Structures are given as structure tokens and as C-alpha cells.
Amino acid sequence: MTTKSTKHDSTTNRWMLALNAGWFGLAYLWNGLHAILLPAMLIGLVPLALKNTYLGALTFFGLLLAMLTQPMAGAVSDRSGWMGRWGRRRPFVALGVALVAGLLVLMAGARTFAAIALIYAAMQVSASIAEASLQGLLPDLTPPEERGRASGFKNAAQIAGFVAGVGLGGILAGRGQIGLALIVAALMVVATNAWTLIGIAERPVKRLRRRKVGAADALRTAYGSFRIDRKAAPGYTRLLAGRALLMAGYFALQGFAQYFIADNLDAPDPASTTALLMAVMGVAVLVLAVPTGMLADRIGRRPLNLFAGVLGALATLALVLVGAIPQLILVGGLVGASVGIFLSANWAWAADLVPPNEAGRYLGLSNLATAGASAFSRLLAGPLVDGGNALRIGLGYNLLFTLLAIAMFAGTALLAGVPETRSVQPEPLAEPAAVDRPGRQP
């Protein structure tokens, strides 16, 4: 097989779907859980006047664990070679997914806040093991000129999972079937990640020899997992900071939408209305995901990132003026459009900047921006909303949306200074044998 035809096989639409299928299941899980199921599960288990604070604290500590776990898990998958005959990423994906599925079954039977919190924290760590390796597959297997398109497929898979997760989660939560919703999430995570594990192939890698490691060595290794080499990845630190500020706005809206709808808009069924809002946002993202990724391959990453940032900030600020459900749905669609453009172009930008031989670790560091933004925005937003609402109904949400818009404008300004420098790879990654190429028929 020639090099040209090999590259073609590895970037067919069918192969792109297999590469990113696992993201559908994980997005189904986290978006349904954060937007619908967790807020519903906490009602009756925590003081009603402090529900935002409890929800914010719970998700903060869980996401903090994810933020710390992903870079280390990515670094391990970069180098360990555990079960290396299956590649350096897929064994860790399988391990993380199996743990998540088991924990979801346990959560379905949890009846106290403490039990939910412990299981949720363990789920964040387990999912981070899988996600760190899934992230590494894209730069490992996709040529640079196709990464915008691959990022578009990834984004489309995540948003399709987002729509399905909040949609079906909203329906089941509205019926009081939260346990069933969690079981369905477990099945979805397993099925979609099995598609990825079976549908793509990695070259085998050698397992590193075990050696005795002291506590000091372990600490140095863990610390090194969070180090960014500015020469090897120019602009990557700035990219992460800008991403964090923009993602904070998106996550806070998602996390507190159900309570905002219940408190400010007097919706008769807040869970179903939240599901509708998230579905509209998701459809907007889904429509734009792949075309935006392909456009980023043609015109560059920066212009699309900056446009998305400004659009998202303006739409978030407009939430202060929302007083009815139709207005909320319209503004939500604009926020969704911003997310769709931003995520495809930004992920392709990150994949360009990271050193190829440490893609798992560096893309795991992107979770410092993603999970960190989600964690801190939820932690700070909860007391802000509850405190503001205690002074005047609705004031807390207005303060939240205003501060988030300011943060998103600041994030956009940071991204304007990130270079569009693609990492240089002195030696190309070895290709799998022709018989093992994904998408090839026997």
C-alpha cells in the first residue's frame, strides 16, 4: 500500500466516526448528569436555600480531581506501554470506561448526599483515565492537515451526546426515573467507547521495564506531568488560559440553567425546559461542528476562536435581559453557535501546538482549562447566586452572567496573542502494518 492511500484510509468519514465515537458516550454522561440529573438528585437531600452552593461545591471538588488526574493519566499513556500489544491509548480507555460504568450503577442506588459525592468523585477520576487517552488518539493518528476536520467530528460527537444526554435525561428525570437514566448512561458510555476501541488500530508499543521508584521520584514525575515547555509548545499556556475563561461561561450556564429557569422564569417543569434549552444549544453546535473544523483547516484557527469568543460573551451578557422562555431559547441558540465554533477551532489549535511525543500529557493539561473552568465557575457561582438572590430575587443570576461575560471577553483577548504555530515533528510516528490500518477490508 502506498503512503498516499494509507493516509486516505485513515481519514475517511467512517474512520473519523470510529475515532470520535467514545466522545459521544462521555458527553452523554457528563452533560446529562450536570445539567439534569445531579440538580434533580440533590433536591430533598440538601437545604433548598443552599442548593446552588451544594451543587457548586460538589461539582468543584469532583472536577478538581479530574483536573489533576488527566495530565498524569495522559503522561502514563504516553510512555508506560501497559498492554502495549493493543497500543498505548486503548487499554487505558477500556480501563476508565469499565470503572465509570460500574460507578454509575452504584450511583443509581445512592440515597444520601455523601454517597453521591463519593461516587461522583470516583467517576471523575475514572473518566479522566479514559479521556486522557482518547484525547491522545487524535494527534497520534491524524495528519496535521486533517486535524481541523477531526476536531469537528470530535465536537459533533460530543454535542450529539450532549443533546441526547440532556434530552433523554430530562425526560426520565421528569418521570422520576433517575436510576434508569444513570443505567442508560452507563450503557451509552460502554457501547460508544467499544466502537472506538474496535474501530481504530494503534501500532503496538513496548512496555517499559519496571523499576523501583521512591517517593521523591514519584513526586518529581507527578510535578513534571504539569510542566509546559514553552519552546516545544509555543503559546500553549496562553491558549489554556484563554480557553479556561471562555469555558467558564459555557459551563456555568449549563450547570445553573435549571435553577435559573425555576427561580426567574417560573417554568412549570424546569427539568424539561432545561432539556429543551440544552437541546437547542446542542443542535446549534452540531450544525456548526464539522464545517467549522474544515474551515479552520483553510483559514486558520485564530479568526474563528476570536469570533466565537466575542459572540459567546455578548450572548451571555444578553441573559441579563431574558424574562421569558422563548427569549432564553433564542439566546441559548446563540451561545450554542459560539460553543460549536469555538470548540472545533480551539481543539485543532491545541493539537497543532502540542509536541507529538507528549500529546497525551499536553492534551491532558487542556483539562486544567476545561475541568478547571467548570470547577471554579461552579464553586464561585453557587454562593454568588444564592447571596445575590437573598438580597433581591434574580440579582444573583444577573451578577453571574455579567461576570461571566467579562471573563469571556478577557479570554478572547488572551487568545488573540496565541501564535498559529504547528508543532514540528522531526520523525513521523511509525505507521501500523497495512493489515492493521483502520478502515481497511480483509
**What cell numbers appear for 29 in the block?**
454522561
First vs last C-alpha separation in the chain: 13
Do residues 249 and 312 make contact, with C-beta atoms less than 8 angstroms apart?
A: yes
- Band (pLDDT 50/70/90 cuts) for residue 107 is very high
Cα–Cα distance for residue pair 310/305, rounded to 1 Å:
9
Burial (0-12, 13-18, 19+ Cβ within 10 Å), 318:
middle
Domain definitions of the chain by residue range: 10-206+234-422
Residue 433: predicted pLDDT: 38
Residue 360: predicted pLDDT: 65
Residue 102: predicted pLDDT: 96
CATH code of the domain made up of 10-206+234-422: 1.20.1250.20
pLDDT at 302 over 60: yes
Taking all residues of the chain, what is their mean pLDDT, rounded to a whole number?
80
CA 309 to chain centre: 17
Tens of pLDDT, residue by residue over 108-159, are: 988 899 999 999 999 999 999 999 888 888 878 888 777 778 878 887 898 7
Distances (CA, A) of 291 to 9, 156, 345, 347, 423: 21, 10, 10, 14, 24
- Band (pLDDT 50/70/90 cuts) for residue 220 is low
Residue 99: predicted pLDDT: 97
| pLDDT top residue among 180 and 428 | 180
Do residues 82 and 415 make contact, with C-beta atoms less than 8 angstroms apart?
A: no
Tens of pLDDT, residue by residue over 17-48, are: 999 999 999 999 998 898 889 988 988 888 88
Give the mean model confidence (pLDDT) for residues 356-371: 72
Quick one: which of 229, 31, 20, 290 has its CA closest to 131?
Answer: 20
Give the mean model confidence (pLDDT) for residues 12-19: 87
Cα–Cα distance for residue pair 131/20, rounded to 1 Å:
11
**What cell numbers appear for 49 in the block?**
436555600
Tens of pLDDT, residue by residue over 171-186, are: 898 888 999 999 999 9
- Band (pLDDT 50/70/90 cuts) for residue 170 is confident
Give the mean model confidence (pLDDT) for residues 51-80: 80
- Band (pLDDT 50/70/90 cuts) for residue 432 is very low
Cα–Cα distance for residue pair 296/291, rounded to 1 Å:
9
pLDDT at 247 over 50: yes
The per-residue b/e assignment along 127-155, b for 16 or more CB within 10 angstroms, e otherwise, is: bbbbbbbbbbbbbbbbeeebbbbbbbbbb
Residue showing cell 427561580: 263
pTM: 0.67
Q: Where are the alpha helices (DSSP H) in 265-358?
A: 270-299, 302-318, 325-353
Cα–Cα distance for residue pair 47/51, rounded to 1 Å:
6
Give the mean model confidence (pLDDT) for residues 415-420: 88
Give 390's strand partners. none
Q: Which amino acid is at 172?
A: L
Q: How many helices (H) and strands (E) does the chain have?
A: 15, 0
Residue 3: predicted pLDDT: 36
**What cell numbers appear for 269 in the block?**
417543569
Residue 442: predicted pLDDT: 33
Q: How many CB atoms lie within 10 A of CB 299?
A: 11
- Percent of the chain exceeding pLDDT 90 equals 25
